[in-house]
Amino acid sequence: MVNGSLVSAGHQEMHDIAVVGSTLVAVGIHHSGEANDPNGWDAAVWVSSDGMTWTRVSNEPSLEVAGYQAMYGVVAGGPGFVAVGIDEREANGDSDAAVWTSPDGVSWTRVVPDESTFGGPDMQGMFVVASGPLGVVAVGVDGSRATVWFSPDGLTWTRVPHDEDLIGSPDQSGFGDVAWVGDHFVAVGSAALNGSHVAAVWISSDGVSWNRVPHDEEAFGIIGRQMAAIASFDGGLVAVGSDADARAVVWTSQDDGVTWSRISDSDFGGLSPYGGRSEMYGVVAVHGGAIAVGRSEGLDGDSQAAVWGSDDGLWWRRLAVFVAPGEQRANAVALFGGGAVAVGSDSSGREVDAAVWICAEDA
């Protein structure tokens, strides 16, 4: 685990990572004061040219605003990079969705916070973002409803009207990830079913009009399954997530997201090596296979960052569980320099720090 350049006073977490050329950009949250202080939580950006040495962007007005701001997703797109998250400036807990853009990962500009697009009663937040030839799609929440936003350029945004018949009922439906695949966007997450939730997939050719893939009980389950991340590889699509018992789950699709199959737990070990919970949060394609990252419970019940690999998306093996004091989790992973870079958080010290793990060679 890369550590030295990421340890600083306060609380730091990396939520997502994107790559453009030789520039790695990770986004998340930073707090330099007391964690229980509602003020001082800032959206945070780290940049690196090699994955080993990281610098947190500082003295950037768009990232240092009163109240609570956080970045949850970032993608190469728009003017260079587009990051999404939340902006909570009121003490009542209401928040608005927020978008930042950058040409180089270092200089950032906040998209003008238009209340009609990003705000409203209760909480609005963008958690994941994807880019395609037609524009940029962000997914998140509006109140308790799963919501989609679309932009042709990362700068001008429209909130897609909510369709409960399509997206699902409040509280039980949500998006985990979205990606451009072939000639359309594919979003994965969960949708309501019989008072619980099941894994769900939506498809859109333009980022605005969406269709839900019909529920398949064998693949998507009857209770508690949810997809957290999706990637496209030579063999089709792979999605990762968890089930009601907090076991890691893998799905694959050979037709660009129209039909799905769930991989048997025995093929990759849904539980941790110690029999505890395991969850996958991020996945990236590697040639004909994929690398997934997340967490597994250690012997003492603490959360440990974990990595799984597959040569074909069908047969998986656990590559590593990073056993260390405290708790760690890997939230996202990207390819870089012939290997992979994962980002997350590490609480093995006195405070929570941003964390980076590097795999020098493909799985």
Distance CA 338, CA 358 (A): 11
Percent of the chain with pLDDT over 90: 61
* 335-358 pLDDT tens trace: 998 889 999 999 876 788 999 999
Domain ranges across the chain: 4-359
Tell me the pLDDT band of 37, cut-offs 50, 70 and 90.
Answer: low
What is the average per-residue pLDDT within 55-84?
A: 94
Given this model, what pLDDT does residue 361 score?
A: 64
Given this model, what pLDDT does residue 233 score?
A: 85
Tell me the pLDDT band of 363, cut-offs 50, 70 and 90.
Answer: very low
Given this model, what pLDDT does residue 147 score?
A: 94
Indicate the CATH number for domain 4-359.
Answer: 2.130.10.10
Instruction: Give residues with Cβ within 8 angstroms of 26, minimum separation 6.
Output: 14, 16, 17, 45, 46, 47, 48, 54, 74, 343, 354, 356
Given this model, what pLDDT does residue 168 score?
A: 66
Whether 170 has a pLDDT exceeding 90, the answer reads no
More confident: 273 or 196: 196
Whether 112 has a pLDDT exceeding 90, the answer reads yes
* 232-269 pLDDT tens trace: 988 799 999 998 888 889 999 999 999 999 997 665 65
Q: Please state the φ and ψ torsions of residue 359, each to the nearest 5 degrees.
A: -110, 115
Task: Look over the chain and give the mean of its residue pLDDT values, rounded to a whole number.
Answer: 88
Most confident of 9-18, 20-29, 39-48, 88-97: 20-29
More confident: 6 or 44: 44
Whether 10 has a pLDDT exceeding 50, the answer reads yes
Given this model, what pLDDT does residue 92 score?
A: 60
**Length of the chain in terms of residues written:** 363
Q: Is the dihedral of CA 344, 348, 349, 352 positive or negative?
A: positive
More confident: 156 or 303: 156
Given this model, what pLDDT does residue 105 score?
A: 97
Question: With the CA atoms of 120, 212, 209 and 171 taken in that order, what torsion angle do they form, in degrees rounded to the nearest 10?
Answer: 0
Given this model, what pLDDT does residue 307 score?
A: 92
